[in-house]
Amino acid sequence: MEKLTNKKRIVIGISGASGTVYAIDLLKKLKTIPEVETHVIVSQWAKENLKLETDLTMKDLSELIDVEYSNKDLGAAVASGSFLTEGMIIVPASMKTVAGISIGFGESLISRAADVTMKEQRKLVIVPRETPLNAIHLENLTKLARLGVQIIPPIPAFYNHPETIDDLLHHQTMKLLDALGIENEGRRWKDGK
C-alpha cells in the first residue's frame, strides 16, 4: 500500500530539447519549498544536453531531485494514475515529446506520465523549446492546449528589466510555479510601472 504523504508531489519531465537550465532553475526553487516533493524523469538526450549546456553533472542534478526515475521504466510509480500528484511540468519539452503526448504514444516514462496526468485531469504544463515552429509543431501544441494542457514557452519578459540570464530564468520559473499554484516571489507586472 502506498504511503501517504503531506507533501505536494510534482512530476517533472526533462526531455532532450535545448534548455536544461530552465529545469535546473525550477528544481532549485522547488528544493527550497519543504512542502514539495519532486519526482523527476530525465531523458537520455536531456542528460547529453546537461553536459553540453551546463557545467553540472548528473550527480549535481540528482542532488536537486527527491525521487528520480529512468525514462525507460514504464512501471514506475508516476506511470499510474493511482499515484497521487499535483501535476506535471515538462521542461524543456522537445517536439518529439510533444508529438508523442499529442497522439497518446507513451513509449517513454515522460510521455506515459503526461498521458496519466491528462487522463486523471491533473495539471499538465509543457515548456516547448523549439524555434521556428512548423505547422506540425503548432498543430500538436494546439491540440494539447485544447485538451487543457497549459503551454508556457520560455519567452522572456522585459517589463521587469532583466539584467542577467538568471533574471530571465527566474521569471520563467515564476510562471511555472504560478501555473501549479505554488506561491513564489518574482518581479511581476505592477500597473505598467
| Residue 94 marked ligand-binding | yes
Radius of gyration of the chain (CA): 16
Q: How far apart are CA 154 and CA 129, in angstroms?
A: 7
| Residue 97 marked ligand-binding | yes
| Residue 175 marked ligand-binding | yes
Can you read off the three cell numbers belonging to residue 160?
521587469
| Residue 159 marked ligand-binding | yes
Within 127-190, residue ranges assigned H as helices are 135-146, 165-179
| Residue 146 marked ligand-binding | no
| Residue 43 marked ligand-binding | yes
| Residue 17 marked ligand-binding | yes
| Residue 16 marked ligand-binding | yes
Phi, psi of 31 (to 5 degrees): -65, -25
- One-letter amino acid of 74: L
Q: Which residues pair with 93 in a beta bridge?
A: 128
| Residue 164 marked ligand-binding | no
Q: How many CB atoms lie within 10 A of CB 98?
A: 25
Q: How many CB atoms lie within 10 A of CB 139?
A: 13
| Residue 59 marked ligand-binding | no
| Residue 106 marked ligand-binding | no
Give residues with Cβ within 8 angstroms of 130, minimum separation 6.
17, 94, 95, 137
- List residues forming the annotated binding site for dimethylallyl phosphate: 159, 175
- List residues forming the annotated binding site: 16-18, 43, 94-97, 129, 159, 175
- List residues forming the annotated binding site for FMN: 16-18, 43, 94-97, 129
